[in-house]
Structure 1
Amino acid sequence: MRVSIICPAMARDPRDMVPFAELVRDGHAQRLWQGQSLSVETHQLFAHLAGSGFRIPVGTSVVLMPLRHPLEAAVQARSLARLTGNSMVLGLGPATPEFVAALHGEPYPSPRDACVRYVEEVRRLLRAGEPDPRDDDVPAAVTLPAFGHPGVEIGLGVLRPVLARAAGRVADVAISWMTPPGYVRDVLVPALGKGAAEAGRPVPRLVTVVHAALAGPDRNPYRLAFTGAGAHLSAPHYTDMLRRAGLRVHPAQPNLGARALVDSGTFLHGTAAEVAEGLAAYGRAGVDEVVLNLAGVAAEHGYEAAARDLAEILAATAGS
């Protein structure tokens, strides 16, 4: 199982993310991920790092579909692959119905169908220079010019079985957040397999973002979990997933949700060896790549503390 890291915040200054890029550059982590940023935009952050000498594997986990046309998504993704010199992962997500409606006037009639269409269109656009496989009676679509790059894997954010099954049908990568290992094993992995079988294609590899922190005398794990995951714990689609996984959570009570994350081991906390042991459970559940998220530590104790924690945890995973 690969071990990667995620930028622990929306960057206000790209230089703040250099300690995390260094961990990937120096071979301690496989890839640097970032979610949708409304501060320094995610693709531009990675381009800045590449221009600063950090030509490392990167991935988005996830950027939101309603913010950009599939053509723009394809251009951004292949540009990053070219700039970094590495295959990049374009992880996509449909956003909430309220967010989609605020931008487009109405929500997607079916988030699942919207995801499938979007992923298929991005894939078509990335096949630049290849013949359009659609029927001759379909009007010609916009295409991109041929452009050499190391490759783009298209990912889809999945929390629940409907989108996991859709990812199995069309995506290269499925990306989950805060999904407990047992839920991954019993719900997401079977749904991915079912979708892939229906489409007659390989099962996408599974990437899971995991909140973690090292224990310390000045660290309250419940506070760290709330600080790092409170926004997601207030979101109905996340709390629905966690309830399906057996946790007692409610979007109106993110503080209690934070306790549930810690008490269930979904938020990993302890020594570096204990965190590494918790990560290993994801590999046994069928995860191909775990992504360490030290958002709570970064918010409470700063980026340097988060980078130190990551270095210790990564060393422990390498030795386990």
Structure 2
Amino acid sequence: MRYSITLPIVPTRPEQAVPFANLVRWTRAERLWQGQTQVMDNHHLISWLAGIGIRIPVGFGVNLTPLRSPYQAATEARSTAMATGCSVVAGYGPGGPNFQRMLLGSPYKSPLTATREYVTTVRTLVRGEFAQTDGEYFATQAQLVPVRSPEVHVGVGVLRPKMAALAGQVADAAITWLCPPDYLRDVLVPEVHKGSAEAGRDPVPVTAIVPCALARDGRDMRDTAFATFGMHLQADHYQDTLRHAGIEVTGERGADADQLFDSGGFLYGTPQDIRDGLRRFADAGVDEVVLNVMGVAATKGARAAAQDLEEVLHVL
């Protein structure tokens, strides 16, 4: 299993990302991942890092489809690969209905159809082929200007079974977040592989973004957990995902944090505890885990988050 890290801060200055990018250069972390940000564009940040000589493999998990056309998405992903000289995993997801309504005027009637059209178009474009899509949500008849570039792998953000099957059918990667290992083992990974088999493809690899933190004096597990994923627990589609995993979100911070911890969906303890917890994801069929210490950064600062990542990566 491969190990990567999430950038645990939302930079307002690009140099704030340097310590975390250097962890990818100096440790066994293979890739620096970022989620969707509405502060500093994540593609621009990676290009800035490349400009000062930090050229590393990166992943976007996930950017939201209402924010850019498929053609623009393909252009940005390939530009990032060209700037870094490294492969890029560009993951996309539709976001929640309220986000879709805010930017598009109304939500997608079928997020699955929208994602299929979007990802298929982006994947066609970054492979240098002519995209001819006349879909319900996206219409594209175009081709990127032919040029040599490192590989761009196009992923799908996966929370529930139908999107997992779709990722297996049309994407290069399935990217999960906040999904306990048993749910991955029993539901999502089999659905990804089933979708791949139906499409006559090799099994699509699964990446799991895993919230975690080291237990230290002065830290509270529940506060750290909620600083990592509390906002997500307010969204209907995350609550539904956790119900699929046997976790009923109550709205009570302590109980919800305890449930995620007990399920292995949030890892907290010594570096060895984190390592052992990550083995459950390997056993579930996950190909790559991405360490997410955003809660540490939010409660204790960026330096503490970098120290946690360094110590965990050391024992791995």
Q: Could you tell me how far 1:53 is from its partner in structure 2?
A: 1.3
- Distance verdict in 2 for CA 1:134–1:310, change over 3 Å: closer
Q: Could you tell me how far 1:274 is from its partner in structure 2?
A: 0.8
Q: Structure 1 residues 252-261 or 295-304, which shifts more?
A: 252-261
Alignment of 1:204-283 (within 5 A): 204-250=204-250, 252-254=251-253, 256-283=255-282
Counterpart Cα distance in 2 of 1:30 and 1:102:
35
For the 8 Å contact 1:35–1:63, the answer to whether it is kept is: yes
Does structure 1 residue 167 correspond to structure 2 residue 178?
Answer: no
Q: Structure 1 residues 283-292 or 227-236, which shifts more?
A: 227-236
Does structure 1 residue 284 correspond to structure 2 residue 283?
Answer: yes
Counterpart Cα distance in 1 of 2:155 and 2:207:
9
Q: Could you tell me how far 1:199 is from its partner in structure 2?
A: 1.0
Counterpart Cα distance in 1 of 2:55 and 2:182:
35
Structure 2 unaligned spans of 5+: none
Q: Could you tell me how far 1:104 is from its partner in structure 2?
A: 1.1
Counterpart Cα distance in 2 of 1:263 and 1:196:
31
The share of aligned pairs that are identical, in percent, is 49
Q: Could you tell me how far 1:178 is from its partner in structure 2?
A: 1.0
Q: Secondary structure at the match of 2:142?
A: coil
Please provide the CA RMSD for this pair.
Answer: 1.7
Alignment of 1:45-124 (within 5 A): 45-124=45-124
Cα shift readout 1:19-57 (whole Å, capped 9, x = no counterpart)? 110110113301000000111111111111111211000
Counterpart Cα distance in 2 of 1:282 and 1:263:
14
Counterpart Cα distance in 2 of 1:72 and 1:3:
29
Q: Secondary structure at the match of 2:231?
A: helix
Q: Secondary structure at the match of 1:90?
A: strand
Q: Could you tell me how far 1:196 is from its partner in structure 2?
A: 0.9
Alignment of 1:283-302 (within 5 A): 283-302=282-301
Q: Could you tell me how far 1:262 is from its partner in structure 2?
A: 2.2
- Distance verdict in 2 for CA 1:254–1:103, change over 3 Å: farther
Counterpart Cα distance in 1 of 2:45 and 2:26:
19
Counterpart Cα distance in 1 of 2:46 and 2:133:
34
- Distance verdict in 2 for CA 1:216–1:73, change over 3 Å: same
| Residue 157 (structure 2) aligns with | 157
Alignment length, in residue pairs? 312
Q: Structure 1 residues 192-201 or 298-307, which shifts more?
A: 192-201
For the 8 Å contact 1:229–1:258, the answer to whether it is kept is: no
Cα shift readout 1:201-245 (whole Å, capped 9, x = no counterpart)? 122100000011111111111110011111111111112111221
Counterpart Cα distance in 2 of 1:100 and 1:133:
24
Alignment of 1:106-145 (within 5 A): 106-128=106-128, 130=129, 141-145=141-145
Counterpart Cα distance in 1 of 2:154 and 2:254:
34
Q: Secondary structure at the match of 1:91?
A: strand
Q: TM-score, normalised by structure 2?
A: 0.95
Amino acid at match of 1:222: R
Q: Could you tell me how far 1:140 is from its partner in structure 2?
A: 8.7
Structure 1 unaligned spans of 5+: none
Q: Could you tell me how far 1:133 is from its partner in structure 2?
A: 7.9
| Residue 43 (structure 1) aligns with | 43
Displaced runs of 4 or more, over 3 A = 130-135, 252-256
Counterpart Cα distance in 1 of 2:204 and 2:254:
34
Q: Could you tell me how far 1:276 is from its partner in structure 2?
A: 0.6
Q: Could you tell me how far 1:9 is from its partner in structure 2?
A: 2.4
Counterpart Cα distance in 1 of 2:127 and 2:172:
15
For the 8 Å contact 2:121–2:131, the answer to whether it is kept is: no
